């Protein structure tokens, strides 16, 4: 049984399992699926400031904090006990392209030249981690939810704003991967 869990699952099994989270949350607790709101709940719990955005009854949303904790705990358990020790196979064409930008070492799925404590204090690392992190946080709040909330929960509820947001996520990802990222990597 453990060997089945250790292997990557095909999309046609893993995808529906993730998708079934939405009706399970709706049926069990009348809750919607999403992660980005948990940052707001954390700030409302920890910052007793007089900021209107954080003045609401966050205790009604405490289930979301347990949900996020469960995701974190599941990730730690999977990493510790279910990790595949073999290196991740990367297409040779991608390796060649990344080497033109000076990326030669990839640990797990992250290029070490971009995602490490040393690179944080470089211009490239600052753009990738700090500025990129800010845009991800700002964008998810501006869009009224993150990719998981809109693309999984919103689409399954047939919400037009979620369809628009999901299309914009994909367009933004294509623009980032094909135009902005090569520019940042060439710095």
| Angstrom distances, CA of residue 140 to CA of 14, 121, 137 | 24, 26, 5
Q: So what's the pLDDT on residue 122?
A: 85
Structure tokens at 46: 């920890």
74-to-49, 69, 107 alpha-carbon distances in Å = 32, 8, 21
pLDDT at residue 135, rounded to an integer: 87
pLDDT along the chain (187 residues), means of 10: 78 88 85 80 82 84 89 90 78 86 75 80 84 85 82 85 91 91 82
pTM of the predicted model, to two decimals? Answer: 0.69
Task: Give the tokens for residue 53.
Answer: 């955005």
Q: How far is CA 34 from the centre of its chain?
A: 11
pLDDT at 115: 78
User: For the chain, which residues make up each domain, given as ranges?
Assistant: 1-83, 90-187
């Amino acid at each position: 049984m453990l060997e089945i869990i250790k292997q990557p699952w095909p999309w046609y099994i893993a995808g529906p399992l993730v998708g079934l989270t939405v009706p399970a949350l709706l049926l069990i607790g009348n809750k919607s699926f999403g992660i980005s709101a948990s940052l707001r709940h954390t700030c409302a719990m920890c910052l007793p400031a007089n900021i209107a955005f954080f003045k609401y009854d966050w205790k009604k949303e405490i289930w979301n904090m347990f949900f996020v904790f469960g995701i974190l705990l599941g990730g730690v358990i999977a990493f510790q006990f279910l990790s595949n020790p073999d290196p991740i196979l990367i297409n040779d064409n991608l390796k060649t392209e990344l080497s033109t930008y000076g990326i030669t070492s990839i640990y797990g799925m992250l290029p070490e030249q971009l995602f490490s404590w040393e690179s944080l204090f470089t211009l490239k690392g600052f753009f990738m981690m700090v500025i990129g992190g800010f845009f991800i946080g700002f964008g998810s709040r501006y869009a009224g939810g993150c990719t998981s909330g809109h693309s999984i929960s919103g689409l399954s509820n047939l919400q037009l704003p979620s369809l628009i947001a999901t299309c914009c996520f994909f367009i933004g990802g294509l623009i980032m991967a094909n135009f902005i990222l090569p520019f940042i990597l060439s710095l």
